[in-house]
Chain A
Amino acid sequence: MLLVVAAGCSKPVEDNIYCDVTLRLSLPGGKEVASMTVNPALRGNMFKNINTGINYPYPEFVGDVCKMTVQKGVYMIAFDGDVVYSDGTSGLVRFTGYNSLSNVRNLLEDEETVELSVIVLR
Chain B
Amino acid sequence: MLTIEGVTKRFGEAVAVDKVELNIPEGQMVGIIGRSGAGKSTLLRMINRLIDPSEGNILFDGTDITALKGSALRRWNRDCAMIFQQFNLVPRLDVLTNVLLGRLNHKSTFASLAGLYSREERLMAIAMLERLGVVQSALQPAGTLSGGQQQRVAIARAMMQEPRVVLADEPIASLDPMNAKVVMDSLADINKRDGITVVTNLHTLDTARTYCERIIGMFEGRVVFDGTPAELTAAEARRLYGVQNEGFSEAMTSTSLSADEDERPAPMRPLPGNRADTQLAEERARALA
Genuine A/B complex: no
Binding site for B on A (CB under 8 A): none
Binding site for A on B (CB under 8 A): none
